[in-house]
Structure 1
Amino acid sequence: MKKKKSLSILKYFFMIIVSFISIFPFLWMIISATNDAREITAVKLTFGTHLVENLRNLFHSDLNFGASLGYSTFIAVITTVLALLISSVAGYGFEIFRSKARDRVFNILLLSMMVPFCALMIPLYRMFGAVGKTGLTGIGLNTLISVIAPYVCTAFLIFFFRQNTKSFPKDILEAARIDGLNETRIFFHMYMPVMKSSYAAGAIITFMSSWNNYLWPLVALQDPQKRTVPLILSAMGSSYTPDYGMIMAGIVIATLPTGFLFFMMQKQFVAGMIGSVK
Structure 2
Amino acid sequence: MVKKNYVGSILKYIFLTVISFISIFPFIWMILGMTNTPVDITQGKIKIGSNFIINFQNLFSQANGYDFTRALVNSAIVAVITTALALLFSSMAGYAFEIYRTKKKDYVFNILLLSMMVPFAAQMIPLYRMFSKLNGTFLGIDHFAVIILPAISTAFLIFFFRQNAKAFPKDLVEAARLDGLGEFAIFFKIYMPTAKNTYAAAAIITFMSSWNNYLWPLVALQSPDKRTVPLILSAMGASYTPDYGMIMTGLVIATLPTAVVFFVLQKQFVQGMLGSVK
Do they fold alike, i.e. is TM over 0.5?
yes
Match of 2:30 in 1: 29
Paired with 1:52 and 1:176, the residues of 2 have a C-alpha distance of: 59
Give the Å deviation of 1:99.
Answer: 2.2
Secondary structure of the corresponding residue to residue 133 of structure 2: helix
1:62 to 59, 62, 65: 65
**Number of aligned positions between the proteins:** 275
Give the Å deviation of 1:2.
Answer: 2.1
Amino acid at match of 2:270: V
- After the TM superposition, which residues 168-207 of structure 1 pair with which residues of structure 2 at under 5 Å, given as runs? 168-207=168-207
Deviation per CA, 1:109-128: give whole Å up to 9, x if none. 00111111111100111111
Paired with 1:17 and 1:98, the residues of 2 have a C-alpha distance of: 48
Paired with 1:189 and 1:30, the residues of 2 have a C-alpha distance of: 44
Matched, 1:128 2:139: no
Secondary structure of the corresponding residue to residue 134 of structure 2: helix
Match of 2:222 in 1: 222
Deviation per CA, 1:117-155: give whole Å up to 9, x if none. 1111001111111111xx4x2210001111111111100
Match of 1:167 in 2: 167
Match of 1:270 in 2: 270
Amino acid at match of 1:29: M
Give the Å deviation of 1:191.
Answer: 0.5
Paired with 2:169 and 2:127, the residues of 1 have a C-alpha distance of: 39
Give the Å deviation of 1:6.
Answer: 1.4
Paired with 2:21 and 2:99, the residues of 1 have a C-alpha distance of: 46
Paired with 1:245 and 1:190, the residues of 2 have a C-alpha distance of: 50
Secondary structure of the corresponding residue to residue 69 of structure 1: helix
Matched, 1:47 2:41: no
Paired with 1:103 and 1:169, the residues of 2 have a C-alpha distance of: 20
Match of 1:259 in 2: 259
Match of 1:10 in 2: 11
Q: What TM-score do the two structures reach when normalised by structure 2?
A: 0.97
Paired with 2:3 and 2:186, the residues of 1 have a C-alpha distance of: 60
Paired with 1:129 and 1:85, the residues of 2 have a C-alpha distance of: 27
Paired with 1:81 and 1:146, the residues of 2 have a C-alpha distance of: 16
Between 6-15 and 188-197, report the one with greater CA deviation: 6-15
Give the Å deviation of 1:21.
Answer: 0.7
Paired with 2:58 and 2:162, the residues of 1 have a C-alpha distance of: 47
Paired with 1:109 and 1:89, the residues of 2 have a C-alpha distance of: 15
Deviation per CA, 1:207-230: give whole Å up to 9, x if none. 000000000000000111211000
Paired with 1:116 and 1:24, the residues of 2 have a C-alpha distance of: 31
Identity %: 64
Match of 1:239 in 2: 239
Paired with 1:261 and 1:51, the residues of 2 have a C-alpha distance of: 25
Amino acid at match of 1:174: E
Secondary structure of the corresponding residue to residue 101 of structure 1: helix
Q: What TM-score do the two structures reach when normalised by structure 1?
A: 0.97
- After the TM superposition, which residues 73-112 of structure 1 pair with which residues of structure 2 at under 5 Å, given as runs? 73-112=76-115
Give the Å deviation of 1:70.
Answer: 0.4
Secondary structure of the corresponding residue to residue 131 of structure 1: coil
Paired with 2:103 and 2:171, the residues of 1 have a C-alpha distance of: 24
Paired with 2:196 and 2:67, the residues of 1 have a C-alpha distance of: 37
Amino acid at match of 1:58: L
Give the Å deviation of 1:46.
Answer: 1.5
Give the Å deviation of 1:160.
Answer: 0.3
What is the root-mean-square deviation in Å for CA atoms of aligned residues?
0.9
